[in-house]
Amino acid sequence: MAFKLNYSFEGNIKSRPEQNLAGASKKLTRDLLLQKTQEERRKRQEQRVKLQSAELLQSHIRSYLVRKAVKEIQRQEYVSNESGLGAMDKLKKLLFFYDHQTDFPKLLKLSNELLLHVSEVIQRINIDTQFSWMMKRLLVICIKHISIHDDTATLICMIATFSDNPNTLFYLIRKGYFSYLRTLLDSSSPDSLPQVMLLIQRPFKFLNNFGPSQDMVLAEFCNTFLKPTLTYNLKYYLIPFMKQTQDTTYYDKLIRYLNGVHYLVESNSLFYCMLALEPADYEPNLDSVQVLSMLSKEIHTLKPSLDLTEDSDCEDGEDVEVSAGEVLLSDYLNILNSSNKVRKWMHFLESNSDDALTAFVNLAQNLLLVYRESIRKYLLLYKLGLNSTFLKKLWFAISKKSADLQINGTSLVSWKGCHTQLSVFCDMFTFYTETLTDKENSDTSETFTSSDLHTMSNLLKRIAVELIEIAFPMCRASSVFATPEISHLYQSCINCVKMLYTLDMRKQFCPPGFWTARKIHVSQDLTKKNYLSQVFSPFGGVIKNVHADDEHLPPLSTIEQRSLAILQELPFLVPFNTRVHLLRDLCRFSLGENEYQRMHHDLLHDNTVVIRRNYLYEDSFEKISTKSESDLKHRVRIQFINNIGLEEAGIDGGGIFKEFINEVLKTAFDPNRGFFLMTADNTLYPNPNVHLIVENFEEHFTFIGRLVGKAIFENILVDLPLAEFFLAKLLVDRASACYLKSLDPVLYRNLLYLRDYAGDVSDLGLDFTTVNNDLGETRIMELKANGRNIPLTNENRLEYIQRLADLKLNTQLKKQCAAFREGLNSVVPLLWLKLFNHKELQVIIGGDTHEIDLDDLRAHTTYSGDFTDEHPTMLLFWRILHGFTDIQKRQLLKFVTSCSRPPLLGFKELNPPFCIQSSGVENRMPTASTCLNLLKIPIIKEERDLQSKLLSAIEQQAGFELS
């Protein structure tokens, strides 16, 4: 097929060269000429510079050679005519030709001559300006040599003798006086240190004579001795020497200088030195507190592993290398915990302005960043945390600023004016509330009113939620760098809100629905994918997967991260029923995402346990303790062996296991067995002396914890009234002193009396010991090292109260609670249970404490045999129940279900459902099968007869064996 070409080619094929008949370009020639001229000019300039440099170099060389020759001539004349020269001539010549490598002996000889005529030399210094100038230069040479040569005694004597005037001393300081003395100090032996320390101290004698230059002197001293890393001689010799020999004037001048420095570089060494140099009779002022607050900003950077007072994570036997002069956290503790120093600080705080409050808040913030429990480490923080006046002032300042700030929606930058105050207040108020502070049953009423607490809760709750939103920003590019201060504010604010919620449960200063007013959306994916088992870091997203199987989980959206953070940090902002549903979903989905997976596992694994009724606990401990976590989470079937050794009839479809878990836990928690004891209000807690009864008690507590976890996992309610402090210790490692009331009300009241005792506590004759009764054997325990020799005083009584409460609540129960939590966590992770507080956990374990809703029970009751809801006997039954007291209703519920409390979310949760079955003629008694939640009632036509038989049955709690 032919194609028509539409292209046209015009013009010549070959291009011809362009011809220019104008001749050579004049412009091109001119440019080349200018370029050539510039190049020649540059070369001539380079030649002139080289020539000048050569002449200058030759001049310097000739000058050096001439000076060297002249110096040598002067040196020879000095040596040959030394005996005939006067002191002035010797000094003049030596200063002219002195070389430190060859003329040091001449320096020593001249120095000795001058020291033989001290009075004449000093007199001439005062009247002869030229001689005075030459002596200054000679002293500079001397001070340079003291860090080079070993033979320094004469030179030190020279400096000590002829520098005792402000003019000479100031000249030496400008020439490096402090630097050379620092080198000498670090290398000196203890015998020679006194002379060196006197020289270092000398400038402070003339501070007033230096006039405007005294700041320069103080700056040189700080930069040379106080800011750099401390050495052994400086830390253990110079600082104690200066503290003992100087009055408060020099320290006050040092404080005022540091407070006036606009760009003060924080240094832990400088902070330590200023603390250690403070004279014993020094009274704190605004400048001193402000300086210490500024200098303490970097103290949190010290490694805790170097601190011998802090629990270290290092393995036993691991050596930690520490420099001899290095400042440890324990050094700061020893100084800051001086009772005299803290007493002066507190007195100054109570009698001063808002500036003092700000300075103390900044100092407290810096100290709070050091330890996890800094308040219990630092006496100053401890006193501030228990000082209601300080807390009131601080809260007033925060309230005043919060009125000017629109907290909701503002950026973190705009909080700079108050986030330090917020952080300190949250820590201090949390500690204050958790300590025995106010009158019994009125923890904070003397400090803050109910209205104050409500306002506080409202503000801090809002800030806490805002912090979570800032920690997990919508835009990744706007992520906030997690400085130690911001991270601490985040955790402090959240802990304070938790404490306020716990306090509100007791005092009810917030209206109903206050904590759950803000709707928090919780995605079901959080439970299906087990995200709640992950550890989240604010400002950093997911940092750790607890389970290796979770590494494939997809990342969460920002909204989901925030919801998860609220669930982990502030779960009470989500309604209780919602959290219960979450727990149920977590338990269900942990076995597989669908029912088929769970059924498949149950079919493939025979998880049957044979238990003899006569040895219920022993068989359970032997056979269930060895089961894996996975087996225990899945269905466990129980085969009972009766008292005569025969298998009991029936197949465990869930009811028999329910009966088993109730009976074995009742046996395990029986105080007669020895693992648990009863408090005064009939609640259960671990026996602190169980180690005297059972050798391997930790294995038993782990087993009991697994059983309780299994009951929670299977949504089986067990009638276990656990002590409040024990429930709290299941969720947190340490219970605070405020829980002591639930353990020992008498001891709690005695400690309150001791705290409020108006007289001299030492008159009571107490010390830091307590008496324990170990199964009838009396034993004295020390609350701290050498406690029997430490008398109780007004100053240390709060420490005594804290230590005694900690011993009773934590130390004596540490192993028992740790083992119980380990077993509980193996079935139901503690991260799931931390969705609830200790009171809600009791509801999770034992059911709701509210009055039984009979209408709800009737709506979810099934009938069998001849009974229906409209049967005459059933109509009588429900009429009788409405006339029962609350105790009788609970007795009936326990008679049928083995638990006196209704299910958490109503009777629709009861599994199997509550069922009533006819049991024949009316001469029979009502009976029950608790494993099936089955109540058997004879057909009775008279209301009085039915009521009488029901009451007889439920009061005797004898049901199954009568069936």
Active-site amino acid positions: 931
d(CA 632, CA 107): 90
Q: Is 482 helix (H, G, I), strand (E, B) or coil?
A: coil
Spatial distance between the Cα atoms of 520 and 562, rounded to a whole number of angstroms: 9
Rg from Cα positions in the chain: 43
Question: In whole angstroms, what is the distance from residue 363 CA to residue 284 CA?
Answer: 14
On the question of a cis peptide bond just before residue 554, with omega within 30 degrees of 0, the verdict is no
Cβ–Cβ under 8 Å, residues 468 and 520: no
Q: Contact at 8 Å (CB) between 825 and 629?
A: no
Q: Where are the alpha helices (DSSP H) in 386-418?
A: 388-404
Q: Are 171 and 163 in contact (CB under 8 A)?
A: no
Q: Rounded to an integer, what distance in angstroms lies between the CA atom of residue 293 and that of residue 301?
A: 15
What's CA 49's distance to the chain center, in Å?
A: 67
Q: What gap in Å lies between CA 747 and CA 280, rounded to an integer?
A: 39
SS3 string, 228-256, reads: CCCCHHHHHHHHHHHHHHCCHHHHHHHHH
- Cβ proximity of 368 and 488 under 8 Å: yes
C-beta of residue 736 within 8 angstroms of C-beta of residue 743: no
| Beta bridge mates, 952 | none
Total count of residues recorded for the chain: 963
Q: How many CA atoms lie within 13 A of 397 on its CB side?
A: 22
DSSP string, 102-146: T-HHHHHHHHHHHHHTHHHHHHHHHH-HHHHHHHHHHHHHHHHHT
φ and ψ at residue 304, rounded to 5 degrees: -60, -25
Q: What are phi and psi of 720, to 5 degrees?
A: -125, 100
Which two three-digit tokens encode residue 757? 């005792």
Phi-psi region of 679 (alpha: psi -120 to 50; beta: other; left: phi over 0): beta
Neighbours of 945 (CB within 10 A): 14
Q: Are 407 and 459 in contact (CB under 8 A)?
A: yes
